[in-house]
Amino acid sequence: MINTMECAVDAQSLISISLRKIHNSRTQRGGIKLHKNLLVSYVLRNARQVYMNEKYAEIYRMQQYEEVMTVCNEIQELNPLDLAEDCEEQSGDCCGNDGVSEPASLCCALLPVSHLTAVQSAHIQAPSACSAPLSLQSDEVCKETEPSFYRSCCAEAYPVSNCDFSTVNNNLHCNKTTVLDLDTHVVTTVENGYLHQDCCASFQQCCQGAQSPAKKRKVDFEYYISDIEEVPDFTPCKRAKFEDCSYANSEHLDTSNISNLISIFGSGFSGLVSRQADFEQALNGQFCSKQALASLGAWTRAIVAF
């Protein structure tokens, strides 16, 4: 039955609903329906585009405000070491105290902007210090990303997604591929050739302040994301097995988990071709349709499992 009040067309809730449908389709009698899942993936893509646009617009607005504030703070900063300690403190607050790593890119997208701008304003040349607040175990990854990477993630007017690609910063070489295997229920991430631990639950803690420990629950759906930078010679990225990507119970897909999932999806969805010109503008297209199609089809490829 239709509710008397039309349900709020909220991008986040649509994403949640869509993911639930994809999950439920796995247990439906008769096998996974390719057609229906393809249509659901379109809704997911549309909702994610809207969500990311809104999110980055918000981040940009906040960052504009914060930049003014940090100009004043810059004057007071003297010792880089002091700042590194500050960063780690912030890390302790927001990235979880259990030492679980999270990728710089994931945290980057949805960390409070103030942290990021503080990092940026420090102009720290040692990326390790820069990345200390964000990751403990993926130092090698962060070392290879320039400080400008963060700026490009958050400072650009266009809502680019995470660190996976930036069409503005041509120096960016962040190669990130994340795959969730539908059959084995594992998440694999390969970034710059390094195996990466994408800990969704810890990220959840990071962003939502949740206290619950990372659950060792498997993810029930698969997607494939390719790096937008690789578009011209697109080849399937290598997958490495990855253990225990924690993710919240699929029956309780609340908004915090959706935020995590979106950041994990990363470049794949935002690279998708949209018929809407404003979307394309917003996403600052150097997007290849092949990339778009590859990302979109990942759902069906995984789901079909033929």
Partner 1 sequence: MAGAGGGSNDVQWCFSQVKGAIDDDVAEADIISTVEFNHSGELLATGDKGGRVVIFQQEIEKSQPQCRSEYNVYSTFQSHEPEFDYLKSLEIEEKINKIRWLPQKNAAQFLLSTNDKTIKLWKISERDKRPEGYNLKEEDGRYIDPNTVTALRVPVFRPMDLMVEASPRRVFANAHTYHINSISINSDHETYLSADDLRINLWHQEITDRSFNIVDIKPANMEELTEVITAAEFHPHQCNTFVYSSSKGTIRLCDMRASALCDTHSKLFEEPEDPSNRSFFSEIISSISDVKFSHNGRYMMIRDYLSVKIWDLNMENRPVETYQVHEYLRSKLCSLYENDCIFDKFECCWNGNDSVVMTGSYNNFFRMFDRGQRRDVTLEASREGSKPQQVLKPRKVCADGKRKKDEISVDSLDFNKKILHTAWHPQDNIIAVATTNNLYIFQDKVN
**Of 30 and 99, which has the nearer Cβ to partner 1?**
30
Binding positions for partner 1, rule: CB under 8 A: 1-4, 6-9, 11, 14, 17, 21, 29-31, 33-36, 38-39, 42-43, 46-47, 50, 224, 236, 275-276, 290, 293-298, 300-301, 304-306
Q: How far is the CB of 272 from partner 1 (least distance, A)?
A: 10
**Of 11 and 201, which has the nearer Cβ to partner 1?**
11
Rounded Cα distance, 84 and 219, in Å: 35
Is there a contact between 22 and 303 (Cβ–Cβ < 8 Å)? yes
User: Between the CA atoms of 92, 96, 97 and 101, what dihedral angle is there, to the nearest 10 degrees?
Assistant: -100
DSSP 180: E
In angstroms and rounded to an integer, the radius of gyration of the C-alpha atoms of the chain is 19
Six token digits for residue 66: 């914060």
Task: Name residue 135's beta-bridge partners.
Answer: none
**Of 34 and 57, which has the nearer Cβ to partner 1?**
34
**Of 17 and 210, which has the nearer Cβ to partner 1?**
17
**Of 121 and 300, which has the nearer Cβ to partner 1?**
300
Task: Name residue 186's beta-bridge partners.
Answer: 181
Is there a contact between 167 and 282 (Cβ–Cβ < 8 Å)? no
**Of 3 and 212, which has the nearer Cβ to partner 1?**
3
User: Between the CA atoms of 127, 189, 215 and 250, what dihedral angle is there, to the nearest 10 degrees?
Assistant: 130
Phi, psi of 231 (to 5 degrees): -55, -45
Closest CA to 157 of 70, 68, 61, 71: 61
DSSP 224: B
